[in-house]
Structure 1
Amino acid sequence: MKCKFLWCIFIALSIFTVTACSSKSNMVKSSLNSYIDAWTKCNYDLMYSKMDKDSKSRIAKKDFVSRYNNIYSGIEAKNINVKIDSSSDIKYEDGAAKVPIKVSMDTAAGKLDFSNSISLKKEKDNDKTDWKVVWSPSNIFPDLKEGDKIRIDTVQGKRGTIYDRNGNPIAEDGRAAQIGIVPETLEQNGEKSKENIAALLNISKEDINKKLSASYVKKDMFVPIKIIQEDDSNLAVLQRISGVKVQYIKERVYPLKNAAAHLTGYVHKVTAEELKTNKNYGPDDIIGKSGLEQIYESTLRAQNGYEIYIVDKNNKKKKTLIKRKVHNGKDIKLTIDSKIQSLLYNELQQDAGMGVSMNPKTGEVLALVSTPSFDPNDFVMGMSSDTWKTLNEDKRRPLYNRFQSNVVPGSVFKPITAAIGLKDGKLNPQVSKNISGLKWQKDSSWGKYYVTRVEDYGEPSNLLNALVYSDNIYFAKTALDIGKDTMETELKNWGLGEGMPFEYGLSRSQLASKGNIKTEVQLADSGYGQGEILLNPVHLMAMYDSFVNEGNIIKPYLIYKDNAKAQIWKKDVYPKEDANIILNDLEQVVSNPKGTGHEAYIPGMALAGKTGTAEIKASQEDTSGTEVGWFAAVNVDNPKLLVIAMVENAKEKGGSHYVVPIVKSVFEQVR
């Protein structure tokens, strides 16, 4: 009986002990979790309030907060996660509790995971007893002791270079000039110097004064003002101004500047909004914002190498916490020829327009130009508000990419209509359509609408003369003979309405705004490239390459291949015999003195070409509309160069005749 009684007492004591221990453990965990919650939210003031009095006597609140801020910001710590390690027991010794924890955080060098332990002790505060955190530097990292510091070394990664076909860089990591002022070296008339500096840098004097008056600035300090290009003509003048200093820094540069801006695009520092969707980027990283820089961001992107480590009071390395190797971006080599790119830009830069070029036998794209343009270096190095305002308010839309968009083709579309008519037997190239006068309508059902042409050249009104004189009526009649259904089917075979397989995203060409030709008049107008026909310039260039490729459309491409071989995008779109007929007639458009493209004639060079003047107006009676001028040409004897140019608002400039010399100039300089 006595043993039974003693056994009951033992069980009761055991239950009491377990309950007491469980209660103590819960109190410890509760106190630590409130500290952890403040920690993960980077609320260092609240963390400090959870510490014991002895810890507070050893480190002031200001120093505590500063230390956490400096360490975590220095290593770019974010997504800090701290949890009590439930797989290990809390250890109690000398009235203190040692709690195991697991810590993880994202840093500049990657994800850092480690185990640690936090000590707590009981302390009475305002008549309330609670467990308080005993702080030491090792609470931050296990190996961090008093007097130790955290260091981070950075190895700069090199972003991939974008080269043209001849190895010339068109986007690369280069040097730029950081213009700064050392306040104490400004001469006595410093205000005048600041005015001169502001004028040369295209910024305001107020911007300079704001930077010089920042709280951290000291008289002997180099104060950065603006980054400019290394070859900026104002650099030498700036260096002669007392107080100005120059430091050369690594920067992304674009040697062709405006000539290739829409092609290359540009990079810029990643924004807070982009960081939300690009988890592998840090706040100081750059990212491709447009053009090839954006399209090939994952290929070109460089990732800096980092090492985060602990040093002792003598700056001797104690332990590496995490290390990430530097990752250089991969280079890209394009089919682009910088010479042709610059030639086309120089010819077009005063106009709103575009120019594209390719080798029609291989599909290699040699130039993609949009004008007016902008200097991508300005976006990288810092654009003034005035420059940004000018770009946005310019009615010619310099930021708009014209080679990426769709345009009314006008008469450059006529050879396409001819190819469809020949293929389907609805067009006999030798037979005259007996056209007379400058306007025509099928019948009175068209009301007041007439198709017009510029010249009544007499007979025969056959295919050759219709192309030489660019006869709208001839191709309107041809379209009606072909018929709506056949015209739509064949144009789809040419790729209209289809996404083009090209490295640089392009607008889809269209045969009609809603996919189908609705009326007889629209069908007639479509025959000579009006109606609702819209073509992307690169697509048009591919369509023209079929004339030297026996009716096959070669796929244009932009990434260079050592052994360039043509890849057919659309096979046997029409017979090779028809391609030869059209090509021979297009040669006459240039060589015949009466041809609309005769201004492009170059003795000794067999150019085949087609002009186009597309009308942009609300109705046939509208006299306030404008015109788009086109010219497309290829060297027949040596078909390695096809060039197409387009200029908007060409009505007062002569329509397509304004564009012909632009294309001719390229052929004269690239033989």
Structure 2
Amino acid sequence: MTEFRSPEQEISRLRFRLVVAGLFMLVCLGLLAARFFYLQVMRFDYYHTRAEDNRIALVPVPPNRGTIVDRNGKVLARNFAAYTLEITPSQVDDLDDTIERLAEIVEISDYDRRRFKKFREDTKYFESVPIRTKLTDAEVARFIARRYMFRGVDVQARLFREYPQGDLFGHVVGYMGRINSRDVEQLEARGETANYRGTEHIGKRGLEESYEAELHGRTGSEQVEVDAGGRKVRLLSRQTAVPGNSLILTVDAGLQAVAGQAFGNRRGALVAIEPSTGGVLALVSAPSFDPNLFVDGISVADWKGLNESPDRPLLNRAIYSAYPPGSTFKPFMALAGLSLGKRTPQQAIADPGFFMFGGHRFMDDKVGGHGMVDLHTSIVQSCNTYYYQLANDLGIDAIAAFMRPFGFGQITGIDLPGEAEGVLPSPEWKRKRFKRPAQQKWFGGETISVGIGQGYNAYTPLQLATALSAVVNDGVMFKPHVVKYVVDPQTGARREVEPQPVRRIPLKPEHLAAVRAAMVDVNLRGTGARAFAGAAYTVGGKTGTAQVYSLRGTKYKEGNVAERLRDHSWFIAFAPADKPKIAMAVLVENGGFGSRSAAPIARQVIDYYLLGKRPPGQASEDEEAEDGE
């Protein structure tokens, strides 16, 4: 039998259900209202910023890097603009497929692919990575027409570095290279990360590295509106980038060219300095390298050619390589003998052609000796026996103490990276250098070798040029520097790099005069006479020949020795002798006698600097300018 409910009960149940449903709806609406209030009111700033970030992008604007010119305004480093095809990997789903499709529009070589892979690995910090650089106008047009097909790919106008003088200034100017992970770590340590947003390259060697802070400038920014694809729609605001400062050098490009060409295919180095200021007039390391090879990422073949070459073109021999100075050390030894009271200019010794010490015969270069030799003759004729005896009389501690103020065995502080200290030998140095006690002992025979610039002596051409500058500048030594002015490109204001006197070495004028007079006579009737025959100026100098390996009692015959085991050729010089404007050190690796290889190079350089005379076959700067830099 079916049970019927009363109408009152049904109405009551319906009302209850309506109340429950109404309450549920009110609770839901309340929750929605609360959430709406939370999002629209309490979290308004946060979500407004995120929305604006989706619509507005802050794009870094890299600054224009400063230029580098020589003392006469000749351009050594400058910028040029070019288009680059770049991929932002984080925005690309299939990178390989994207590259293949791009290759149908613009040419992408295997080298471009390898470079892209390397850049992507080394520069994860940056958003975009170039797949092709220096696009032609036609290639840019072809891509722009199809850009909608490539998310995360775009064309950028970038500044590239150019070095018009090529390998002539490779070691001075250095080069720009792409920022890698190590560079990023260094920027983070210095707190300069923000200033390198959007910048892909940084100075790696030479002045590009040491003056990076001056050359780089300050990064600007653009606030742009972007579409859903991340492409610019319109510019909203701009903070202008501040261009980097430019550098005017003390170096003379013409003098550098004469010096560089004088080396020809030989290995070696030359450093020429203005004694009264420490300004570097020329700094050559031969062979050199073309810094333009590094600007766009050096190829494997080019890198292998430079890195594996037996001539080591990447090595800056002028400031990093240390060599025994040979007889160029004798003028400094002569000053030591005079200053420490062990010799007078008139005092003479008998030279039988050798010096006996500890049962060992130290041979002179002239069979039978030079006869009676005073200080003047010892320098002019480069008498070894005189300096064997002098070294023995002075002792190694006195020699080391006297030579230290000249900067031997110390960095000079030149404004170029990678300078070596060299070796000023002493018992203290030897104790630090060797581990075994038997090796740490200093022997008297080692002092004898030090006296003629051999043994453990090892100095850079820069150190010798700096030390000579002090001798011809009456004992005042200046810190060598390559940059003369730092220039603000916006105002044109010049900030001079002030000459910095390092020290005044207490040398008596009569002692300096005696040594300098002997060095002048070297080029009149001594070992440098042939190289400076007919010179229209007076010049002081000293030849030097430094052994590469121990003869062990045998007689040296150049023709019987492998080329890279032959003696090094040295020459130091200053001119004009009465008021020197230039002091230099020249080294030719395995060049033999200093009078034969190094001295003629010095002659060409001084002829140009004092007389404007160029060697036959060299074009003038005006002729070079007509041909284009």
TM-score, structure 2 length as denominator?
0.70
Say which of 474, 478, 485 aligns to 2:386: 474
Q: Deviations over 1:471-529 (max 9, x none)?
A: 11111111112223321221223233444233224222422175259222111111111
Structure 1 residue 395, shift from structure 2 partner: 0.8
Q: 1:176 to 1:614 in 2, by over 3 A?
A: farther
Whole-angstrom distance in 1 between the partners of 2:537 and 2:303: 44
Higher mean C-alpha displacement, 474-483 vs 282-291:
282-291
> 2:533 aligned to 601, 609, 620, which one?
601
List alignment gaps of at least 5 residues for structure 1: 1-90, 103-113, 119-137, 180-210, 228-238
Aligned in 2, Cα 1:566/1:637: closer, same or farther, shift over 3 Å?
Answer: farther
Quote the residue 2:398 is aligned against. Answer: 486
SS at match of 1:309: strand
1:660 matches 2:599: yes
Match for residue 373 of structure 1 among 274, 285, 288:
288
User: What residue identity is the alignment partner of 1:477?
Assistant: Q
Choose from 163, 173, 185 the match for 2:79. Answer: 173
Q: Going by fraction, where is helix more abundant, 1 or 2?
A: 2
What is the correspondence of 1:29-428 to structure 2 with a 5 Å cutoff? Answer: 93-94=32-33, 96=35, 116=44, 141-143=50-52, 149-151=55-57, 155-174=61-80, 214-217=99-102, 219=104, 221=106, 250-279=159-188, 280=193, 281-282=196-197, 284-310=199-225, 324-405=239-320, 406-428=322-344
User: Is the deviation greater in 93-102 or in 461-470?
Assistant: 93-102
* Amino acid aligned to 1:507: A
| Residues 577 and 272 of structure 1, relative CA distance in 2, 3 Å threshold | same
What residue identity is the alignment partner of 2:348?
S
Aligned to 2:451: 527
> How large is the Cα RMSD of the aligned pairs?
3.8
Partner of 1:508: 421
Change (3 A) 1:223 1:397: closer
8 Å contact from structure 1 (residues 550, 580) kept in 2: no
Secondary structure, in 3 states, of the residue corresponding to 1:94?
A: helix
Could you tell which deviates more after superposition, 476-485 or 493-502?
493-502
Q: 1:178: how far off?
A: 8.6
Cα distance in 2 for residues equivalent to 1:153 and 1:564: 35
Distance change in 2, residues 1:379/1:564 (3 Å): closer
Task: Tell me, yes or no, if the aligned pair for 2:62 and 2:198 is still in contact at 8 Å.
Answer: no
Contact 1:98 1:117 in 2 (8 A): no
The answer to whether the 8 A contact 1:470-1:596 is kept is no
Residue number in structure 1 paired with 2:542:
610
Alpha-carbon distance in 2 for matches of 1:432, 1:589: 18
Q: In terms of mean alpha carbon deviation, does 507-516 or 338-347 score higher?
A: 507-516
Deviations 1:442-498 (A, max 9, x none): 34x244x52332355643311222111211111111111222332122122323344
- TM-score where L is the length of structure 1: 0.66
Local SS of the residue matching 1:215: helix
2:365 matched to which residue of 1?
453
Please say if 1:587 is aligned against 2:520. yes
Does the 8 Å CA contact 1:340/1:366 hold for their aligned counterparts?
yes
Residue in structure 1 matched with residue 116 of structure 2 by the alignment: none
Note if contact 1:467-1:586 (Cα within 8 Å) is conserved in structure 2.
Answer: yes
Mapped partners of 2:518, 2:578: distance in 1: 14
Shift of 1:304: 3.8
| In 2: Cα distance, 1:495 partner to 1:340 partner | 25
- Partner of residue 628, structure 1: 568
Distance, in Å, in 1 between the alignment partners of 2:44 and 2:293 is 48
Change (3 A) 1:427 1:101: farther
> Do 1:547 and 1:580's aligned partners in 2 also have CA atoms closer than 8 Å?
no
User: Given that residues 527 and 595 in structure 2 are in contact (C-alpha distance below 8 angstroms), is that contact kept between their aligned partners in structure 1?
Assistant: no
CA 1:442–1:154: 2 relative to 1, 3 Å: same
* CA spacing shift, 1:99–1:613, aligned 2, 3 Å: farther
- Kept after mapping to 2: 8 A contact 1:361/1:640: yes
In structure 2, C-alpha distance between the alignment counterparts of 1:333 and 1:643, rounded to whole Å: 21
Deviation at 1:258, TM superposition (A): 0.8
Paired residues of 1:601 and 1:607 also in contact (CA < 8 A): no
Q: Secondary structure at the match of 1:515?
A: helix
Report the Cα distance in structure 2 between the residues aligned to 1:454 and 1:397, rounded to whole angstroms.
Answer: 35
Query: Among residues 553, 560, 565, which one is paired with 2:477 in the alignment?
Result: 553
> Is the 8 Å Cα contact of residues 64 and 159 (structure 2) preserved in structure 1?
no
1:639-658 alignment to 2 at 5 Å?
A: 639-651=580-592, 654-658=593-597
Structure showing greater relative contact order (alpha-carbon pairs closer than 8 Å, 6 or more residues apart)? 2
Amino acid at match of 1:510: V
Offset of residue 629 of structure 1: 0.6
Q: Distance in 1 between matches of 2:539 and 2:552?
A: 34
Distance 1:474 1:367 in 2: 34
C-alpha displacement of 1:606: 0.3
Q: For residues 577 and 520 of structure 1, what CA distance do their matches in structure 2 show? A: 31
Q: Which amino acid aligns with 1:400?
A: L
Q: What is the aligned partner in structure 1 of residue 511 from structure 2?
A: 578
- Offset, 1:563: 8.1
Q: Is the 8 A contact 2:271 2:461 kept in 1?
A: yes
User: Which string of whole-angstrom CA distances, capped at 9 and with x for unpartnered residues, describes residues 557-594 of structure 1?
Assistant: 222168898643231332111111111111110011x4
Please report how far the alpha carbon of residue 116 of structure 1 lies from its aligned counterpart in structure 2 after TM superposition.
4.9
Hey, which bits of structure 1, 4+ residues long, moved more than 6 A?
Answer: 176-179, 224-227, 242-249, 312-316, 562-565
Specify whether residues 226 and 358 from structure 1 end up closer, same or farther in structure 2 by C-alpha distance, changes over 3 A only.
Answer: farther
1:282 to partner: Cα distance: 3.6
Q: Percent identity?
A: 26
Partner of 1:198: none
Q: Note the alpha carbon deviations across 1:43-81, whole angstroms, 9 max, x for none.
A: xxxxxxxxxxxxxxxxxxxxxxxxxxxxxxxxxxxxxxx
Give CA-to-partner distance per residue, 1:147-205, whole Å, 9 cap, x none. Answer: x84455564421111222222221222357999xxxxxxxxxxxxxxxxxxxxxxxxxx
Report the Cα distance in structure 2 between the residues aligned to 1:213 and 1:316, rounded to whole angstroms. Answer: 24
State the Cα distance separating 1:615 from its structure 2 match.
Answer: 0.3
Cα contact 2:352–2:370 (8 A) shared by 1? yes
Q: Is the 8 A contact 1:175 1:250 kept in 2?
A: yes
Contact 1:511 1:533 in 2 (8 A): yes
Work out whether residues 106 and 139 of structure 2, in 8 Å CA contact, stay in contact via their aligned partners in 1: no
Q: What is the letter of the counterpart of residue 302 of structure 1?
A: G
Change (3 A) 1:311 1:259: closer
Greater shift after overlay, 404-413 or 564-573?
564-573
Residue 540 of structure 1 is matched in structure 2 by 464
Q: Which amino acid aligns with 2:462?
A: V
